Amino acid sequence: MTVDIQFFVSPPQSSRYQARQKDEFGVTYYVVCPYDGSQCSFIIGQVQGEAHITVTFTNNSFTHNRTMEGDEISSASVYSVLTTSSPTVEFSCNCDLTGAHIESDVPVSVFSVIYYVTTLKKGG
């Protein structure tokens, strides 16, 4: 039996995003993103075979600054469809991902991503 898995990114709560998994059994899981309405990233990791993943973005600003590991998104529009056999797909954005909705026809995992940028200065 195949269970469709659905995720969505809700509005920030306590300065964090929550990506919630909901399936027909009513189970909910949480993945947090440490940013306040900007620079949010998440990785979709497959746990079996080839997946057909649908990502719906409600924020038009997501049409910029995406990165992918695996097949390209078929459209840079708010509604994007991806079929991939790659183990991971990454979405990143310098904007607000509130309302993003992820659907997959096979079980997948969604992880938030934390990027640290440091500048090293040489002493002289």
Give domain limits for the chain: 5-112
Burial 48-82 (b: 16+ CB within 10 A, else e): eeebebbbebebeebeeebeeebeebeeeebebeb
Mean pLDDT of 28-32: 44
* pLDDT tens per residue, range 67-110: 443 344 444 433 445 556 667 666 665 555 555 666 667 666 66
Report residue 74 as tokens. Answer: 């078929």
Q: How many percent of the chain have pLDDT more than 70?
A: 0
What pLDDT does 76 receive? Answer: 42
Q: What is the pTM of this model?
A: 0.50
The closest alpha carbon to 7, from 49, 40, 53, 60, belongs to: 53
